[in-house]
Structure 1
């Protein structure tokens, strides 16, 4: 498939070869019906928690039940990691999903270990833990059950309505101040969502999820991510207002970064969907990245640098003030953490 091809329900039809591969598979250009099915592979990882050492990220450990993501967000920075699995950052990322079926058991083992210091675990640091296949595998739910047994705090971020399925467990965690949830909302435009984030919940549904979680007594915030200058930055005031109206106790944002393996995919997505805006958007990304599409400098990568980044910061601050949003304390409690005896199966 060339860069101009489209597949319904997919952010990209491209499948560029991994930087670690010498060979590349190219489908027949005449195959108009080329539409790969999603394949699931067993991930036999021996550990389940990924450690973070970056001081600008507010957690030390993350848990990713899946590698690869059916949501297919074209801008997703996690696409690059699929290349380390000998897959492509393109269509493979959306259609070849690694499933960590033993995640709940590995998590229980980790929390039971003598050297585990109770602290917040993020679900997930890379791919969405509530992507469509979770409805079948239920790995995220089983991991939440383990966390609830141990009363270990967890922070969850998702674009999927499936999180409401687990309100019962989230409420139990909330009793001990052990959970914070967040909905990632990129735009208010469902047509843009359809091409930018093809298999995610549409914007209106995400606000409904925020409301459902808030009404259930589960702390929920909204993450405007990514902010793509020249595309969705003008929507910040309305997203902030709608989030607060829905019951969010906090709103934050992060700026688009385009690491290796994602840059070309995003550029080609712009060419297919927004050719007249392509130059403007990429120039803005270069500007806030100080000449780079992927400024990975700590404490700058989330908000960017330069005049456009400062404009976004000012707009976001003013939007929060206008919406009456005050700063919230997102620290979770570890004082209720308990070791669960081997063989103990009672959840609550």
Structure 2
């Protein structure tokens, strides 16, 4: 890992030895309650209070809050490809690994275990950035035989998480895509997407861009604990409005739908998004792969203990008696009576609020590589 990543101080030291429950004062504004060891780590660690700094001692000090650390990811390629039958794209770009939004339910959390980090608090406090991504993207698009198809952004971690305000990697990637007239689709919970309305509006009017804002709940207080550093629901609705006014086709993803906690908001979210200017919609049910299950259950015990048993019971109904079913065709929509009811509710509300139409396919026929200094000029024949 030392050859691939380099750490950059961002106001805190490496805290990889916090592997169990972390005091609320330390994790204020974070989603996970613990820093459980990833599934590939041979050992686990847990903090122990030895009594020397208890509340009755003179040395007692408030615990230092967890701070975000930035690491550099120098991967040699930027476009990731997949052959999943239930995804509407075959290639994607993720400028960040880990996400400071801290959504406790995030299905991408287990990916941090591949880096020797915890899918818990490490995932939202140790963020890997790809500063070379724009330059590498330009080279990959110019590769001989490259076949243009829409690139998806925001498929794993959010391209408009807080670090993007400073790092601007997503914007630089969009500048490369615009220069190549390459189609792109974005899913985000970040209202910061409106900063790039100039690029996205231009590309949207050309049929080259589409943005979906992901909304889990309209309840501000619930959202603050579920997704503590993501934009407020109201800010996301304003982002839909701003992008729509600029000419960028915009939709809403009700994701995730959490049974017995947020599912009753489905129609309200679709109606609010439609009023803001969304033209299409989708939904994804709660997914609890690998380490996410324990993290989400910890969140329930801390924030909604009265609903914990009911929520997990409904989750199991949705996934054939299990906490999660990873099979294609079922992992995102579930199965059984409750899944069928949710599907009918969604399609009925989408028709009622004008969100049932399928988005127009993004254009691929405009793709071309811009001239660079030293390139041979076309003869114009």
TM-score range, shorter chain: over 0.9
Query: Are 1:163 and 2:199 an aligned pair?
Result: no
Query: Are 1:19 and 2:19 an aligned pair?
Result: no
Map residues 172-321 of structure 1 onto 2, 5 A cutoff: 172-321=202-351
Alpha-carbon distance between aligned partners in 2 of 1:268 and 1:8, rounded to the nearest angstrom: 15
Query: Are 1:8 and 2:8 an aligned pair?
Result: no
Q: Is the 8 A contact 1:48 1:106 kept in 2?
A: yes
Name stretches of at least 5 consecutive residues in structure 1 with no aligned partner.
none
Post-superposition offset of 1:55: 1.3
Post-superposition offset of 1:298: 0.9
Name stretches of at least 5 consecutive residues in structure 2 with no aligned partner.
1-17, 55-60, 375-381
Query: Are 1:90 and 2:110 an aligned pair?
Result: no
Cα deviation, 1:128-157, whole Å, max 9, x if unaligned, reads 000000011100000000000001100001
Aligned residue for 2:141, secondary structure, equals helix
Post-superposition offset of 1:271: 0.2
Q: How many residues align?
A: 345
Taking only aligned residues, the RMSD between alpha carbons, in angstroms, comes to 1.6
Residue 58 of structure 2: aligned partner: none
Residue 125 of structure 1: aligned partner: 155
TM-score, normalization by structure 2 = 0.87
Greater relative contact order (Cα < 8 A, sep 6+): 1
Post-superposition offset of 1:13: 3.2
Residue 37 of structure 1: aligned partner: 67
Q: Is the 8 A contact 2:33 2:298 kept in 1?
A: no
Q: Is the 8 A contact 1:4 1:272 kept in 2?
A: no
Post-superposition offset of 1:5: 4.0
Cα deviation, 1:219-265, whole Å, max 9, x if unaligned, reads 10000000011000100111111111110010110011101011100
Alpha-carbon distance between aligned partners in 1 of 2:373 and 2:295, rounded to the nearest angstrom: 48
Post-superposition offset of 1:323: 1.7
Alpha-carbon distance between aligned partners in 1 of 2:347 and 2:23, rounded to the nearest angstrom: 40
Alpha-carbon distance between aligned partners in 2 of 1:57 and 1:220, rounded to the nearest angstrom: 19
Alpha-carbon distance between aligned partners in 2 of 1:321 and 1:123, rounded to the nearest angstrom: 27
Alpha-carbon distance between aligned partners in 1 of 2:338 and 2:372, rounded to the nearest angstrom: 55
TM-score, normalization by structure 1 = 0.95
Assess, with a 3 A threshold, how the Cα gap between structure 1 residues 112 and 244 changes in structure 2: closer, same or farther. same
